Amino acid sequence: MALPRLSRSFTGLLVETSCLIHQRTFRVSTVAAAIQKLTRVRVVDNSSLGNTPYHRSPRVIHVYTKNGIGKVGDKVLLAIKGQKKKALIIGHKMPGECMTPRFDSNNVVLIEDNGNPTGTRIKVPIPTQLRKMEGDYSKVLAIASSFV
Amino acid sequence: MRFQHSDSWFLSTSLCRWAPGNDSEPPKFIPPSKPVIIDKTQAVATLRKFLSPEFIPPRQRTNPLKFSMERKDMIRRRKILNVPEFYPGSILAVSMADPNATGKINRFVGICIQRGGKGLGATFVLRNIINQQGVEICYELYNPRIQKIEVLKLEKRLDDNLMYLRDALPEYSTVDPDMKPVPFPPTGEVPLNELKVKMRPKPWSKRWERPKFNIQGIHFDLCLVPKQMEHAQKWAQPWQEYDMLKEYDTSKLEQQILSEVQQEMSK
């Protein structure tokens, strides 16, 4: 008498857990927006800090602009592997002005305080509007392999 | 007498090949006629009756004078820059003048995902994957920075809007930047590519299975269960097909504008 009840409750539990397993999908925000605080970002150069795996992805903690929104060519502060590091935004998912490229991921290049890049090569294509800032980031442009 | 005749006859046939009066001097060299090269890869003006979608004015309460003035400007620009016929799904190469690239021309090759806008603000989006990074550029057709638009492969797909390629496997969006133009005949039907695209696992940027998007070009059987497809049909709006206020018949307008545009272009 007790057994069928137990078996029913067990089956109920199993069904619930299997439902939970199926429902535990990772929700990613679908809205493509410019880079702001707490955006997860993809480091695109070949520096060791950017490419070694960590249990948390690199996130933006501060954007160095008047409003807190970062577009191509803006400096940001990242939190990578428990350290703070400055970086330069190379491309974002948000559509910019016409005739400028829109990338499928928010790309970023690690930078020192004086503007020198940490890595030695950037494989990903870079928008040509970055060439306007020749003076500040000429070294970043020098390590880029292709322009879009 | 016969000998003389035969001699002169023989001499005349041999002399025919050389320029006249050339007994003592060496014969003048007449170069062979130059071969006529018919460049089949060049864009021959399409004999298909094709009107670019941005010429058709939207249904608005504006003065038709505005649209006719815009059309004049569009035709003026088209006389200078040859804008070929293309559809979403064709592979294009666009050369753009870039002030930041030191006077050089920036060339981008990609699949046309979407054609939007009407009039002079007409745009088209090209997508390609370069070095495993997806790049999309939205070009304005009538922007003076555009130097050249080439159609490398003229093709139609099952849908007008291929935005779902962002969530599809990267092989469907990669286009070789050094691709050679595929020759297509100026007459006849545009080839329809009935490719069903395989998608990445969900979540996608939009819920492409919903009837609002009406996408034919995704292979839903591989990624969705029939139960999910039925659940998506909950958002179907079957009454919109019968909504008379949403009807906009453009056939007569199209013919009229097409004849107008062809007249102006031939001037």
Domain boundaries, chain A: 39-143
Where does the pLDDT of residue B189 fall: very low under 50, low under 70, confident under 90, or very high at 90 and above? confident
Confidence of residue A32 (pLDDT cuts 50, 70, 90): very low
Q: How confident is the model at residue A25 (pLDDT cuts 50, 70, 90)?
A: low
> The domain at A39-143 falls in which architecture?
Beta Barrel (2.40)
Report yes or no on B66 lying in a domain.
Answer: yes
Q: Is residue B133 part of a domain?
A: yes
What are the phi and psi torsion angles at B25 (to 5°)? Answer: -80, 160
Rounded distance between C-alpha atoms, residue A32 and residue B169, angstroms? 19
Each residue of B99-115: pLDDT tens digit? 887 667 889 999 999 99
What average pLDDT does range B49-56 have in this prediction? 91
pLDDT in tens, A77-126: 999 999 999 999 999 999 988 999 999 999 999 999 998 999 999 999 99
Alpha helix ranges (H) inside chain B: 2-16, 64-80, 220-223, 226-232, 251-266
Average pLDDT, chain B: 86
Angle of CA points A23, A29, A34, to nearest 5°: 170
* Contact criterion met (CB below 8 Å) for A102 and B135: yes
From chain B residues 56-95, the ones with a CB under 8 A of any chain A CB are none
Token code pair at residue A134? 């020749």
Residue A123 confidence (pLDDT): 92
SS3 of B88-139: the string is ECEEEEEEEECHHHCCCEEEEEEEEEEEECCHHHCEEEEEEEECCEEEEEEE
Report which of residues A19 and B140 the model is more confident about: B140
User: What's the angle, vertex CA B261, arms to CA B157 and CA B162, rounded to 5?
Assistant: 15
pLDDT at residue B26, rounded to an integer? 80
pLDDT band at A65 (very low <50, low <70, confident <90, very high): very high
Centroid of chain to Cα A99: 23
Q: What predicted TM-score, i.e. pTM, was given to this entire model? A: 0.79
Asked whether the beta carbons of B77 and B142 are under 8 A apart, the reply is yes
B13 touches chain A (CB under 8 A): no
Does the structure show a pLDDT above 70 at A60? yes
- Residues of chain A with Cβ-Cβ distance to B170 below 8 Å are none
Higher pLDDT, A90 or A30: A90
Whether residue B74 is predicted with pLDDT greater than 50 in this model: the reply is yes
3-state secondary structure of A126: strand
What pLDDT was estimated at residue A132? 81
Residue B3 lies in a domain: no
The predicted pLDDT at position B188 comes to 79
Nearest to B138 among A95, A105, A128 (CB): A95
Most B CBs within 10 Å, among A104, A129, A138, A146, to test the B interface: A104
Domain holding B86, by residue range, is: 53-194
> How many Cβ pairs closer than 8 A exist between chain A and B?
71
CB contact under 8 A, A99 and B130: no
How much is the average pLDDT of B133-154?
94
Determine whether the interchain pair A30/B203 forms a contact, defined as Cβ–Cβ distance below 8 Å.
Answer: yes
The pLDDT assigned to B37 comes to 67
Query: Could you tell me the CATH number of the domain that includes residue B157?
Result: 2.30.30.790
What is the rounded average pLDDT of the residues A6-10?
Answer: 45
A137: pLDDT confidence band, cut at 50, 70 and 90? Answer: confident
Q: Is residue B199 part of a domain?
A: no
Reported ipTM: the value is 0.76
Is B139 in Cβ contact with A104 (below 8 Å)? no
The pLDDT tens digits of the residues spanning B199-252 come to: 999 899 999 999 999 999 999 999 999 999 999 999 999 999 999 999 999 999
For chain A, give the mean pLDDT.
82
The total number of structural domains in chain B stands at 1
- Chain A interface, Cβ < 8 Å to B: 25-28, 30, 32, 95, 98-105, 107, 123-125, 128-132, 145-148
Q: Does residue B203 lie in a domain region? A: no
Q: Are B131 and A124 in contact (CB under 8 A)?
A: yes
**Percent of chain A having pLDDT more than 90?**
61
